[in-house]
Each structure stands twice: as C-alpha cells, then as structure tokens.
Amino acid sequence: MNNEFKQQMYDLLGPDYDAFMSSLNDEPKKAIYMNIQKECHDETLMSSLLEHPLVKNGYYFNPSTTPLGKSPYFSCGLYYIQEPSAMLVSSFLDIQKDDYILDMCAAPGGKSCYAAMNLSHEGLLIANDIVPLRAKILSENVERFGLENTIVTNAKPAAFEKILPEFFDKIILDAPCSGEGMFRKLDQAVETWSPEKVNECAYIQKQLIDTAMVLLKPGGKLIYSTCTYNKKENEDIVNYALDQYDCHLLPLPHSHGIQPGIDMDEAVRLYPHHYNGEGHFIALLQKNGVEKVHKINALKPHISKVQRDLVADFYKTYLNKDMPTYLYENQNHIYALLPQFPELKGIRILRNGLYLGECKKNRFEPSHALALSLKKHEVKQFYDYNEDSKEIKDYLHGLSIQGTTQKGYGVLFINNLPLSFYKESQGQAKNLYPKGLRR
C-alpha cells in the first residue's frame, strides 16, 4: 500500500490509525435493499437478513450462507446488491413522490434504482453516465428493477445545462474519486492510487459541482458523495460549492458509528473501523434563491397508427391492463413515456421510460423489460414456480419448459415475481429469456 496514503491516513486519524489499518484486513460487508415495487413472499429469505439500522428496506446478508447474487430473485429485480455505505446516499435525500431527480454519475445504478422506486408516475429520474459501457450496465439494472419513470442517458453532464436549467428538485452526485474507501474491497483501487489521481479527481469534481448548480432548482437539494477519505475530494469540494454558489449545508445524522466531516459537522464520514461498511463521505447542500420559470419542451408521443394497433392488440390479447397512453417509437422499438418526460435534444438516450418491445411485420414482440414490470394479475397466461424448482433452473439455462394448452405469450413467475416472457405452442413454453442473461 502506498506510503503517502498511509501518512495521509495517519495524519487524518491519529490514535485511530491502527484500528483503521486493521479493519482493512476484514471481509467487506454485503448488503441489499428490497425493491418496494415488488413483494417478497419468501419468509426463509427474509429471516436470513439483518436489517440495516438507517436505510429503509435495507439489509445486511452473509454471501457465504445466502448467495443472493446467484439467486433467481436477483434476476427478477427483487433487490439490489449495494455496498452498505453507498446505500446511505439516496436514503439521505428525503425523496418526495413527485420529485424530478438527476443522478449525474449513475452507473452501475444502485442510487438510481433506490431513488426511482420511491417516485410515483408523477416523478422523474434521469440516470446518466458518461462512459458508454457503464451506461449500458446502468440501463440493464434499471430494466431489472422494472422502472417506468426513468430515462437512462449516456452524456457529459454539462450537456444538460442548456436544455434543463434549474429543472431538478434533487441531484445525486456520487463523484468519480480516487477510491480510497474501496481499498478493502478492490485491489485495483489500491494499485491505481496516487496523489496525482487525487488532484485530477478534485478538478473533475469541481466541474461537476458547477454543472449541478446550473441544473438544480432554487430550493433544490444536491447530495454529494465520494468513496474516498482525503479532504481535497471531500470537504474542500463542498467548501468550493459554498464559496462559489448561493447554497448552504443541511445536517446529516451521526449515529451507528458515522463520524462528522473535518471541520464540517453537517457532513458525514464513514470509516470501516467505526461503521459497518466501506469508506465514504456524504454532504447535503440546498440551493438558495427563488425558483424561476424555465420553458422545458416535453417529449411528444410519436408512433404510427399501424404500430399503435399492433401494441394495442398485444395488450388486449395477453394482458389485463390498459395500453400506456404515451407511446414513442424509435426504429420500430416502442417505449411508454410519461407526460413529464423532457425532450433531450443532443443527448444520447439508452432507455426512454419503459421499453415495451419491437414492432415487426404484422406483429409486436414484447420486451424483457415489459415482463419485469408486470404483476401476476396483469397477465392472462402464466406459470409460477418456486425459486429452487427444476423448471426455473432449466429456464435460466435457456431451456424450454413443459407447457399445457396455452397458446401465445405468457409470463413466467417465481413466487409471484416476474422473470420472463415465454411463447407457448403445442405444449412447449419456448424460452424468451435474453441469451446474455442465461446461466
């Protein structure tokens, strides 16, 4: 481990230094939060979890006895596996049902999914990441959670400044950082650390703060976080925001081993020798001023009559719910919009609300995302199996399952949780689980 980092932590922690260094040899803690838009009916699973003391619907788990990453429940979007310190960020944001929220550096999606599941259909989350591969992973996690109020984008955050000024009620800025708080969890974080990287990250963090303040409404809240310890990327960045912009700090709770910021009691620091998680820094800022009216163009529905009729016929034939009102077509791919979705000219969009499926010649093929958003009473044909059943194991491997007398599309459920569409004919339920997800 870099000697300069050791000296930095010794100067920072003093008598706590040895306890901190010792904690880096402990096993990283594992946690999940439950998707509140889906119901867990497995009492055995719930009894194996330890409730997180600060995060509503958050739990610790033991991966050696409860390997939740391998469970079919994970594929159903029942929960999100997230580091327990990072889990605090969105939970500290006091999300209201109709908030418009931006997650500026959102991949892989833990903070985004937590925020979006707490919003209603009057709310909006834009989850953005600048790196294409990371944005793809973000989009996949949003899909797995069955979210309908979320737009996933792949752009520089500054690209939003001209089209969405003072648009957001809340902004999550989990900034790129030197990753000192991940040393126990990731060997790569140790190997790539340097004082130069710290300075480079601090420069980027100030730019992101500048953009966030343009995009945040007066009265809106910005939660800033990093998974690092040094003051340059934490308190110094917050002080930069306080010096450059009309804003103030809001106090965050200090309990369960959470420490105050350095000369900044409103902020919090998480150390693995005090708190049951990895290293983190979190601060909550509120922008002052009076809200102005900015004209924001809404994204207009766009779909041909032929395409609309194909989607309508699918809903009528296979689902017990109304077809969404606002539909948008892009190269025959159909999305369900919400009326508050903004027009994002010049922004690369990976997911515009709920992806319903694709219109092909004289037919509509439903998407995996649509399946994951459905409840059992909303589908006309289904099979429901236990999590550990042979049918589910076979289906996740890509095999078909034995059918009955059904014809056409249905949804495969695991203990009332949607997993995938299937298409049945002649007593065989053809596997429609995406090939890239099979195992």
| pLDDT per position as a tens digit, 259-296 | 999 999 999 999 999 999 999 999 999 999 988 888 89
Q: How confident is the model at residue 87 (pLDDT cuts 50, 70, 90)?
A: very high
Is residue 1 over pLDDT 70? no
What is the sign, positive or negative, of the torsion defined by CA atoms of 313, 316, 320, 325?
positive
If you average pLDDT over every residue of the chain, what do you get?
95
Is residue 186 over pLDDT 80? no
User: Is there a domain that residue 395 lies in?
Assistant: yes
User: Is there a domain that residue 399 lies in?
Assistant: yes
| Tally of structural domains, the chain | 1
What is the predicted pLDDT for the residue at 195? 83
- Residue among 76, 113, 227, 359 flagged as catalytic: 227
What is the predicted pLDDT for the residue at 294? 84
User: Is there a domain that residue 57 lies in?
Assistant: no
What is the predicted pLDDT for the residue at 15? 94
User: Is there a domain that residue 413 lies in?
Assistant: yes
What is the predicted pLDDT for the residue at 234? 98
pLDDT tens digits, 233-244: 999 999 999 999
Per the annotation, the verdict on 227 as an active-site residue is yes
User: Is there a domain that residue 414 lies in?
Assistant: yes
Is residue 126 over pLDDT 80? yes
Is residue 130 over pLDDT 90? yes
Is residue 181 over pLDDT 90? no
What is the predicted pLDDT for the residue at 277? 94
Is residue 187 over pLDDT 80? no
Q: Which percentage of the chain shows pLDDT scores above 70?
A: 99
What is the predicted pLDDT for the residue at 185? 62
What is the predicted pLDDT for the residue at 131? 97
User: Is there a domain that residue 409 lies in?
Assistant: yes
For residue 436, the enclosing domain spans 380-439
Q: How confident is the model at residue 190 (pLDDT cuts 50, 70, 90)?
A: confident
pLDDT tens digits, 298-311: 999 999 999 999 99
User: Is there a domain that residue 17 lies in?
Assistant: no
Q: What value does the mean pLDDT take over residues 53-65? A: 95
Q: What value does the mean pLDDT take over residues 150-171? A: 97
CATH number of the domain that residue 406 is part of: 2.30.130.60
Q: How confident is the model at residue 207 (pLDDT cuts 50, 70, 90)?
A: very high
User: Is there a domain that residue 420 lies in?
Assistant: yes
